Amino acid sequence: MEEIGKNVAANLKELRKRRQLTLEELAERSAVSRSMLGEIERGRATPTITVLWKIAQALKTPLTTLIGNREDSFTVVRATDRVPFNEEAGHAITSIFPYYEPHRLEALAIDLAPGAALDNAGHMKGVEEYLFVLEGAIEVTVQREKIGLRARDSIRFAADTAHRIENVAAGAARLLNIIYYR
C-alpha cells in the first residue's frame, strides 16, 4: 500500500500541473479541501477511495491513473503485486493494467461474491466498458435492460450512464473489465 501512496502523490501533482490547475482550483472542482490535496501531493495523507474518485472525476481521468506506475515500452504486472483498490463486502476490484494514456484504456479484475452487486452512476461521457465473464453468472443492467451472462460470455456497453453488475449465481463470479476512454 505504501507504493500506491507514493504513486498517488506523484501522479496527482503531475496531472494537476499538466492541466495547469492550482490546488484551489482542483479543490473547488473536486470538493476535496486544498489542505487535503496538498497533504496527498506531499505523500503525508492517504486518501480514501471516495476521495480518489472525486479527484479523478475532477481531473477527468480514470481512477487508476492516480494509483498506477509510470508506463514504459512494456509493462509486466505480477499477480503477487496486484492490490485490490476497492475491496468491500462482497466484491474486490483489482487493477490488472492501470490506465495508459496512449491507448486510453485500463483493465480490471472484478470478483463478486454470490448475491453481490456493483452499482455505478456512470463514468465520464464517451466511456465504454467491455465485460468478460471468466467464472460464474452475472446480470448486467444497462439502460434499464437486464442481460444475463455466464462464463465465457461478454458484453460491451456505453458506460457513461448508470449500470449495475450483479452476481446471480450460487458461487463466486470473476470478471475481466476493460474500460475504454474515448
| pLDDT tens-place string over residues 168-178 | 999 999 999 99
- Our CA dihedral for 129, 130, 136, 137, rounded to 10 degrees, sits at 70
Q: Is residue 72 part of a domain?
A: no
- Give the per-residue pLDDT at 97: 86
CATH code assigned at 123: 2.60.120.10
Residues 63 and 137 in one domain: no
As a whole number of angstroms, the longest Cα–Cα distance in the chain is: 50
Structure confidence by residue, pLDDT tens digits, 64-96: 888 877 655 567 778 888 878 777 888 999 989
List the one residue out of 41, 89, 88 whose CA is nearest residue 66. Answer: 41
Please check whether residue 157 lies inside any domain of the structure: yes
| pLDDT value of position 49 | 86
Domain stop point among 11, 44, 67: 67
Span 105-133, average pLDDT: 94
Check residue 79 and give its pLDDT: 86
How many structural domains is the chain composed of?
2
pLDDT computed for residue 108 by the predictor: 94
Q: Are 41 and 12 in contact (CB under 8 A)?
A: yes
Does the pLDDT at position 1 exceed 70? no
In this structure, the answer to whether residues 86 and 59 fall within a common structural domain is no
Residue 31 gets the label, from left (phi > 0), alpha (psi -120 to 50) or beta, of left
Same domain for 164 and 100, yes or no, is yes
Per-residue pLDDT tens over the stretch 33-59:
999 999 999 999 989 889 999 999 999
Mean pLDDT of the chain: 90
State the pTM of this model: 0.64
Query: Which CATH number covers residue 50?
Result: 1.10.260.40
Pair 41, 91 in one domain: no
